[in-house]
Structure 1
Amino acid sequence: MASVLGLLEAREKKVREEIARLREEAERVQAVLGAAEGALGRLVNARATVAEVLAEPPSAVTEPVSGAVAGAVAGAVVPRRTGDMAASVLAPDCQQILSVLESEAGREGMRCQQLAVALGLDAVPAKVEGLRSKAKRLVERGWALQVRPGVFTAPAMPAV
């Protein structure tokens, strides 16, 4: 028969090991909790900053784009076309698309894959879909025509 003191010592050793294991786990949880609290703090600050920026009134009133715009800016918004507006107000990539659509090859209309090849781009889905988006934006703003679904051309230029 085991002695009572021996049993108590064995039990005490097991409890000490359990306490050590729980302390290690608590330290790990504290580290994860600290990282999560840091992420939460950054998100709260980002949301507050965005709300602050959105609440500010615009610093300058934008004027409508006219034919007298000095030059095109890459990535700029495509302006609505008015009668005297030249293609030079468009971003360079949109100007290139229009020049291809105005060429002999584009007179009957071009699909976006054909347009990509004509612009010297790889006819991969990412490039083709990017061109499709730009071509549709040009149609919406009066710079191009969609003669059939997915087929784009330049509008007929008025006689001057």
Structure 2
Amino acid sequence: MRELLEKIEARQTAARDEAGRLHEQIAHLTDQLARAERVLERLQITRETLLELAGEDDRTSGPLPSAYRQILTLFENADDGLHARDVCRALDLGAEPRHTEGTRAKLKRLVSRGVLIEPEPGLFAMPHQ
């Protein structure tokens, strides 16, 4: 009987030690999660500010036309970037070359203004992606 109680006590000690280690890991992961969430929040605020500034354009040319605002809205939810053809499809503009080339020109203008980037030829994305 004594041996059984010693085995139970040994298992309890091991379980307590494991629980302690897990609590430490949880505390560490909670800190990491809080830091990551703060970074995400700052990035979201930065993105919103960038979109507001892009929408304001400058005082001489006024706010961005609605077509540009629609394009920027698409990029808010695009994780991997978009091609001009993808933008045309998403906005239901048609797939003819005149539509994709017009859209590509708008995307290039947004790149030249620093609102979008072109990480590879023909692929457009928000700057922090």
**CA distance in 1: counterparts of 2:114 and 2:102, whole angstroms:** 19
Partner-residue secondary structure (3-state), 1:85: helix
- Structure of higher CA gyration radius: 1
1:87 aligns with 2:87: no
Partner-residue secondary structure (3-state), 2:124: strand
TM-score, normalised to structure 2's length?
A: 0.51
**CA distance in 2: counterparts of 1:84 and 1:111, whole angstroms:** 23
Does the C-alpha gap of structure 1 residues 84 and 101 become closer, same or farther in structure 2, counting only changes over 3 Å? closer
* Aligned residue type for 1:96: Q
1:123 aligns with 2:95: yes
* Aligned residue type for 1:154: M
Contact 1:110–1:153 under 8 Å retained in 2:
yes
In structure 1, stretches of 5+ residues that fail to align are: 1-81
Does the C-alpha gap of structure 1 residues 123 and 84 become closer, same or farther in structure 2, counting only changes over 3 Å? closer
1:114 aligns with 2:86: yes
1:1-160 superposed matches below 5 A = 85-87=53-55, 89-103=63-77, 106-156=78-128
RMSD (CA atoms): 2.5
TM-score, normalised to structure 1's length?
A: 0.42
Q: Deviations over 1:5-43 (max 9, x none)?
A: xxxxxxxxxxxxxxxxxxxxxxxxxxxxxxxxxxxxxxx
Percent of aligned positions with the same letter in both sequences?
A: 35
Partner-residue secondary structure (3-state), 1:133: helix
How many angstroms does 1:86 deviate by?
4.8
Partner-residue secondary structure (3-state), 1:115: helix
Alignment partner, residue 57 of structure 1: none
Consecutive aligned runs of 4 or more in structure 1 exceeding 6 Å deviation: none
In structure 2, stretches of 5+ residues that fail to align are: 1-49, 57-62
* Aligned residue type for 2:85: Q
Write 1 or 2 for the structure with the bigger share of helix. 2
Paired residues, number: 75
